[in-house]
Amino acid sequence: MTSLLGVYECSVDAKARLLLPVAFKKQLTPLLDKGFVIKRSVFQKCLELYSLDEWNALMKDVNKLNRFKKKNVDFIRMFNAGVKPVELDSSGRILLPKDLMTYAGIGKNIVMSAAVNMIEIWDKDRYEQAINDPSVDFGSLAEDVMGNMGNKTDDVDLP
């Protein structure tokens, strides 16, 4: 599993191309030639950029879902809505699909934020709103999510 680090402010050119920050290129060097997958985020109005290896690992789990259950089929359809393969061009740029840019409200100024094994791509203003959301108490959230780490469980709803 890739574990990425960093948050970078970038810009999208007039042709919807995004230059991958050098720090991300260095972290992803062994994966650059394989390409990437870009998709809508499940919970936020942003995009998610996966290396092809990470995407394939995720799809192994999705492929285990029973397709004779309607909610699973609905999930798969919605999860894959707008999914597109993308590659770096010879200048290290990624062409952002117009439909995904529209979905995420991406303009010229963006933020690329590492999210463990993938990169979130945000419109800069939306990113600032999300990380400065006054309705989210980060200390309480950290305690809920990480406070039981010694118990070796993924269940964050423990009492």
Kindly report, residue by residue over 88-118, the tens digit of the pLDDT.
999 999 999 999 999 999 999 999 999 999 9
The CATH homologous superfamily for domain 7-132 is Transcriptional regulator MraZ domain (3.40.1550.20)
**What pLDDT does 158 receive?**
47
Instruction: Give 9's contacts (C-beta < 8 A, 6+ positions apart).
Output: 109, 110, 111, 124
Task: Reply yes or no on whether the pLDDT at 43 is more than 90.
Answer: yes
* Burial classification of residue 16, based on how many CB atoms lie within 10 Å of its CB (0-12 exposed, 13-18 middle, 19 or more buried): middle
